[in-house]
């Protein structure tokens, strides 16, 4: 809770609960509270429940977890989720707009849980602010250096701008360097995709507009005081234990994601093996979803799918280009959504990962192309194993659906062949006139058959 005046900020500290807290029960209560007020994926509710407790003891670990909330459109519950998290987290400071200078000064002075809503309106193009947010998730790098002028003189650099000062602006030749600490939990919420550099350090929660049938409790029924008191009691009793706990990394995540979830995994282990397993599964799903939405890794996964179709052998550049465009029944690659796809663009994109085209031979054809082994190094380095496994599973499910559709088509065709043979017998027996009436319908069925065959590549 924040108390504000025209000149200052202050935070109300919740009184700790008089009774000791069972962490597993507290996490379950927080998760239920979030789900009561927000339509949200279960894995996101699980991760956010642990994150809420983390905000009360974040100084006990070397890394702090961020939350990135985005939505494709307005009215997807983004701001409601920010409000719920603000009510549950420790020392919440909510801002729908904030300058660069106010950002690092507020964090340094108060050490709050900073929740930035409507970030799409001012984060885009503000590289200084993104840089501060990027550096503040580990305590070793969470510092911003500024030159503080002597009293009565102006600062060397404008706080809210990336541009250098105008020539007419006074600058101080005196003063001292000040290091501002930017280490604190942060929530960044915006319409559209959160920048990759922030998402890479965050629990990424993608909101969707709720259906009419999906019901939630209004915020007027949101009363977080009991949870705040329990979290405060947990911090009072067990912050030292959290600080002394060994490093806890969730298997299957890339290094950055593992760092993000490490302080949460410590809390989940203290809550018991059931919560550690639930958090591990949630982290795998949320991190996998984020990898699939990031352009580079998603592009490499597209390449993996195409090369597996070719049994990991070889593919010409022109054939690869057609498949990335969406030809021959393939889904077009989102990597090239806003630009033309051609062999040169593909070669430039792949060269970023050390993959270069070469002259290859397939049968009697010789042209520029790629070999399946060229992609192994990049996939191992840039795409987590969990994301690869997820794409492989999706491919297997698609293949199974196609197989079942093909089998159903074969059964229907066999029935029609039998019916056709019976019709021919009747024609031979002088009953052909009775079948003429069904000729038009039969031709339409044949056209439908040919259309289906074309769809499945027969």
Q: For residue range 299-327, what is the model confidence (pLDDT) as tens digits?
A: 788 877 787 776 667 888 888 888 888 77
At which of 243, 270, 293 does a domain end?
A: 293
Mean pLDDT for the stretch of residues 399-415: 81
**Domain at 201, CATH number:** 3.40.50.300
The secondary structure of the chain in percent helix, strand, coil, rounded to multiples of 5, reads: 55, 15, 30
Domain that holds residue 354: 295-382
Residue 219: count other Cβ atoms within 10 Å of its Cβ: 11
Write out pLDDT tens, residues 59-95. Answer: 999 999 999 998 877 888 889 999 999 999 999 999 8
The answer to whether residue 432 sits within a structural domain is yes
- DSSP secondary structure code for residue 63 in this structure: B
Where does residue 27 rank: exposed (0-12), middle (13-18), buried (19+ CB within 10 A)? buried
234 and 79 Cβ atoms separated by less than 8 Å:
no
Query: 191 and 330 share a domain?
Result: no
Interatomic CA distance for residues 292 and 84, integer angstroms: 28
**pLDDT at residue 377 in the model:** 76
CB 227 within 8 A of CB 33: yes
Look at residue 165 and tell me if it is in a domain. Answer: no
Q: State whether 412 and 332 are in the same domain.
A: no
Summary mean pLDDT of the chain: 80
Number of structural domains in the chain: 3
Q: How many residues does the chain have?
A: 458
Strands 92-95 and 113-116 turn out to be parallel
Q: Are residues 321 and 448 in the same domain?
A: no
Flag whether 151 is in a domain.
no
Position 174 confidence tier, pLDDT thresholds 50, 70, 90: low
Confidence band of 447 (pLDDT split at 50, 70, 90): low
Q: 371 and 236 in one domain? A: no
CA distance 388 to 395: 11
| Higher pLDDT, residue 111 or 5 | 111
Per residue in 370-384, pLDDT tens?
Answer: 887 877 777 777 777
**Residue 172 clears pLDDT 50, i.e. is over it:** no
Kindly give, in sequence order, each residue whose CB lies less than 8 Å from that of residue 290, ignoring residues fewer than 6 positions away: 199, 200, 204, 257
Is the CB of residue 93 less than 8 Å from the CB of residue 115?
A: yes
Question: Is residue 253 within 8 Å of 65, Cβ to Cβ?
Answer: no
Percent of the chain scoring above 70 in pLDDT: 79
Give the per-residue pLDDT at 257.
Answer: 84
Residue 241 pLDDT > 90, yes or no? yes
Joined together, the tokens standing for residue 47 give 């991760």
């Amino acid at each position: 809770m924040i108390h504000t005046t025209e000149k200052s900020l202050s935070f109300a500290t919740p009184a700790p609960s008089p009774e000791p807290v069972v962490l597993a029960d507290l996490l379950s209560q927080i998760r239920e509270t979030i789900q009561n007020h927000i339509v949200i994926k279960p894995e996101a509710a699980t991760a956010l429940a642990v994150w809420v407790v983390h905000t009360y003891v974040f100084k006990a670990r070397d890394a702090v977890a961020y939350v990135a909330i985005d939505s494709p459109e307005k009215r997807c519950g983004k701001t409601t989720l920010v409000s719920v998290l603000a009510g549950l987290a420790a020392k919440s400071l909510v801002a729908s707009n904030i300058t660069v200078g106010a950002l690092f000064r507020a964090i340094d002075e108060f050490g709050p849980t900073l929740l930035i809503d409507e970030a799409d309106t001012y984060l885009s193009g503000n590289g200084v602010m993104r840089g501060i947010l990027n550096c503040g998730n580990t305590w070793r790098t969470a510092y911003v250096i500024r030159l503080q002028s002597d009293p009565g003189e102006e600062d060397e650099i404008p706080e809210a701008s990336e541009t250098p000062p105008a020539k007419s602006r006074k600058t101080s030749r005196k003063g001292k360097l000040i290091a501002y600490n930017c280490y604190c939990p942060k929530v960044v919420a915006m319409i559209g995709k959160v920048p990759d550099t922030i998402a890479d350090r965050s629990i990424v929660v993608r909101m969707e507009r709720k259906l009419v049938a999906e019901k939630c409790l209004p915020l007027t029924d949101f009363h977080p005081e009991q949870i705040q008191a329990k979290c405060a009691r947990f911090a009072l009793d067990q912050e030292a234990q959290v600080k002394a706990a060994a490093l806890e990394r969730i298997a299957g995540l890339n290094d950055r994601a593992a760092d993000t979830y490490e302080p949460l995994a410590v809390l989940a282990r203290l809550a018991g093996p059931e919560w550690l397993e639930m958090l591990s599964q949630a982290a795998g799903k949320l991190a996998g979803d984020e990898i699939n939405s990031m352009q580079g890794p998603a592009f490499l996964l597209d390449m993996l799918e195409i090369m597996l179709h070719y049994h990991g052998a070889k593919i010409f550049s022109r054939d690869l280009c057609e498949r990335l465009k969406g030809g021959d029944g393939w889904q077009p690659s989102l990597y090239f959504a806003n630009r033309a796809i051609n062999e040169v663009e593909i070669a430039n994109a792949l060269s970023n990962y050390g993959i270069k085209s070469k002259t290859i031979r397939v049968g009697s054809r010789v042209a520029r192309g790629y070999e399946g082994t060229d992609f192994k190094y990049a996939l191992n380095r840039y795409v987590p194993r969990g994301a690869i496994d997820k794409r492989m599973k999706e491919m297997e499910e698609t293949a199974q659906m196609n197989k079942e559709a093909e089998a159903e088509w074969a059964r229907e065709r066999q029935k029609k062949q039998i019916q056709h043979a019976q019709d021919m017998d009747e024609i031979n027996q002088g009953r052909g006139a009775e079948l003429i009436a069904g000729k038009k319908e039969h031709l339409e069925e044949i056209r439908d058959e040919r259309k289906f065959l074309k769809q499945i590549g027969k």
